[in-house]
Amino acid sequence: MWTLQGTLLALAGYLCVFNLSVVRGSSMAPRIHDGDRILIDHLSYVFGDVRRGDIVVLKYPLDPSVDYIKRIVGLPGDDVVLEDGDLWVNGERMDEPYVVQSDPFARVRVHVKPAHFFVLGDNRPRSCDSRDFGLVPQDYIRGRVEVRVWPPQRLGAIDE
């Protein structure tokens, strides 16, 4: 049986690895909705690299006290082009099954600097992302998001 001390120690360890966060806004719809509760894995990037397609919580570059949730689409050294609603990385058109509605008016051409990332919301017409605030420094990435814990009917892994 768990003792109170064991339970508190396990809870403290859990909170050091994961952080519960409430999503505000619809920039990641339809996979992640306003009001969803998600777990942020803070250790994922201590032991592994950020990958294209990862959903992350990051510090908003224009106000680091605010957190945003976005998808990594450009890695350091990548050439990113967004044109006519299509995303191209290093000359290759990206298949993005998670984007339901593209933004045909967005035009971006950027080379991702070392230790930076280019991020986009899945709900392109309703997302404030690297198109608006530019590249995200690596140390602004708080962690990866893989699990939704609320609401109960959508509990579980968030498909990338």
Which amino acids are annotated catalytic? Answer: 27, 70
User: Widest CA span of the chain, in angstroms?
Assistant: 60
d(CA 107, CA 37) in angstroms, rounded, equals 32
Can you say how many angstroms the Cα of residue 48 is from the centroid of all Cα atoms in its chain? 16
Alpha helices in 18-160 (DSSP H): 44-47, 130-133
Let me know: does 118 contact 74? Beta carbons within 8 Å: yes
H or E stretch at 11 = helix 4-17
Please name the residue ranges forming H helices in 18-157. Answer: 44-47, 130-133
Classified as helix, coil or strand, 16 is helix
For residue 86, what are the β-bridge partners?
Answer: 83
